[in-house]
Amino acid sequence: MSTDFRLPDLGEGLVEAEIVQWHVAAGDEVTLNQTIAEVETAKAVVELPSPFAGTVSAIRHAEGDVVPVGEVLISFDVEGSDAAAAETAEKREPNLVGYGAAPRSTARPQRRARAGAAGDAVDLAVREAAPHDAIAPSAPEREPRERPRSTPPVRKLARDLGVDLDLVAASGVDGLITRDDVEAYAARTATATPEAPRGPVPPTAAPVASAAGDERIPIRGVRKHTADAMVRSAFTAPHAATFLTVDVTASVAFVAGLRADARYAERRVGIMAVAAKAVCLALRRTPELNATWDDAAGEIVRFAKVNLGIAAATERGLVVPSVKDAGGMPLLELSDAIRALAETARAGKATPADLSGSTFSITNYGVFGVDAGTPILVPGEAGILGLGAVQRRPWEHEGGVALRDVMTLSLSFDHRLVDGAEAARFLTDVGDVLRDPARAMVFA
* Residues noted as catalytic: 415
Q: Is the dihedral of CA 27, 28, 32, 37 positive or negative?
A: negative
Residues paired with 309 in a beta bridge: 322, 361
Please name which of 273, 280, 279, 275 lies closest in space to residue 259, comparing C-alpha atoms: 273
Report the b/e string of 266-282 with b at 16+ CB within 10 A. ebebbbbbbbbbbbbbb
User: What residue type is assigned to position 139 of the chain?
Assistant: A
Q: Is the dihedral of CA 356, 360, 366, 367 positive or negative?
A: negative
Residues paired with 25 in a beta bridge: none
Output phi, psi for 278, to 5 deg.
-60, -40
Determine the Cα angle at 217 with ends 215 and 222, to 5°.
150
User: What residue type is assigned to position 371 of the chain?
Assistant: D
The total of other beta-carbon atoms located within 10 Å of residue 94's CB is 22
DSSP assignment of 72-135 equals EEEEEE--HHHHHHHHHHHHSPPB-TTSSPPP--SSPPPPPPP-GGGSSEEE-------GGGSP
What SS3 class is residue 340?
Answer: helix
Contacts of 229 (CB under 8 A, 6+ apart): 378, 379
Backbone φ/ψ region at 368: left (φ over 0), alpha (ψ -120 to 50), beta: alpha
For the chain, give the number of residues: 444
Contacts of 133 (CB under 8 A, 6+ apart): none
Q: What is the Cα–Cα distance from 152 to 150, expressed in whole angstroms? A: 7
Report the b/e string of 35-74 with b at 16+ CB within 10 A. ebbbbbbbbbbbebbbbbbbbbeebbbeeeeebebbbebb
Output phi, psi for 417, to 5 deg.
-100, -30
How deeply is 299 buried, as exposed, middle or buried, from its count of CB atoms within 10 A (0-12, 13-18, 19+)? Answer: middle
Q: Are strands 360-363 and 308-310 parallel, antiparallel or unpaired?
A: parallel
Q: What is the Cα–Cα distance from 336 to 349, expressed in whole angstroms? A: 17
